[in-house]
Amino acid sequence: MGSGFFAILDDIAALMDDVAVASKIATRKTAGILGDDLAVNAEKATGFLSSRELPVLWAITKGSFLNKLIIIPVALSLNYFFPVAIQVILIAGGLFLAYEGVEKIVEYLFHRTKKGKEVIQDNKENNSEQEKTKIKSAITTDFILSVEIVIIALGTVLDKSLAIQILTVCVVALLATVGVYGIVALIVRMDDAGYKLIKRSNDKGFVASLGHLLVKSLPIVIKLLAVVGTIALILVSGGIFVHNIDYFHHFMPQLPSMVKEITLGLVAGLLVVGVVTLVKKITGKKTAH
């Protein structure tokens, strides 16, 4: 009886060792996507009133957890019963990410008609609606990136048992959500931490200087994240096309992978933005009539 109990414990320990090794490999493979996930979601989680930053971030984090709860069983089931569907879902997600990235660029280049004061006034009047829209957008983007993370993690353990596959994917998904949004929380609270340091040091000495640095750095970090997040969207989408469409995988092999991926992301994004704009114009005319 006792020997049987210890044998079970030994099996569990061996399973955990295998999961730890597999998770380490899977996390390393998904590091690039996790970096992009951080850049994209940090940009989406900023720009709110100070009092609303953490509630908004918590809403996005809960959405991210829900995304993983949906994606993991579906991915495992599709991988077993209908593996080609995963490729189709990834490509569709790539088109969405390309659209989001290129739309940001188009918006920045051609539709910046409002001045700063007008934007601030609009934020006060429509804050709740804008908050909901931004949360929804962040959760949707997180869903696409989560699909990519889960699929890559699953791909590293396809030769393992089902138990190791499930546990490894769950560990990577949990680390992705906690790690990404934990860092995002630190970023969005930089200015508050800076103000507290300044207050506690009576605005004197090294601590006060550090506080001022944090306060002054936040707007720069936010602008940088906006740029990096947009590039990340386009790069991830291009990477999805390169790795999941055989023609693009072998297309112009002499090109550096990053150049190929960002080019494909931009072209795909421009096409989708064009189609969406055309559909909006057509449906708008029909509604007007």
How many Å separate Cα 7 from the centre of its chain? Answer: 42
Q: How far apart are CA 62 and CA 69, in angstroms?
A: 11
Structure tokens of 132? 């909901």
> Mean pLDDT in the chain?
77
Number of Cβ within a 10 Å radius of residue 25: 14
Confidence check: pLDDT of 272 > 90:
yes
pLDDT-above-70 percentage for the chain: 75
Amino acid at 37: D
Model pTM?
0.66
pLDDT of residue 216: 85
pLDDT of residue 271: 94
pLDDT of residue 10: 54
Q: How far apart are CA 42 and CA 60, in angstroms?
A: 11
Mean pLDDT calculated for residue range 273-277? 90
pLDDT of residue 18: 58
Q: How far apart are CA 270 and CA 248, in angstroms?
A: 17
**C-alpha separations of 216 from 120, 193, 227 in Å:** 20, 12, 18
Q: CB within 8 A of 135, min separation 6: which ones?
A: 56, 59, 60, 63
Classify residue 185 by burial, with Cβ atoms within 10 Å: 0-12, 13-18, 19+: middle
Virtual torsion, Cα 224, 227, 229, 231, nearest 10 deg: -140
Q: How far apart are CA 107 and CA 244, in angstroms?
A: 29
Task: Give the pLDDT confidence of 8-58 residue by residue, as tens digits.
Answer: 555 566 656 656 666 666 666 555 566 666 766 666 666 666 677 778 888
Confidence check: pLDDT of 118 > 50:
no
Q: Are 51 and 199 in contact (CB under 8 A)?
A: no
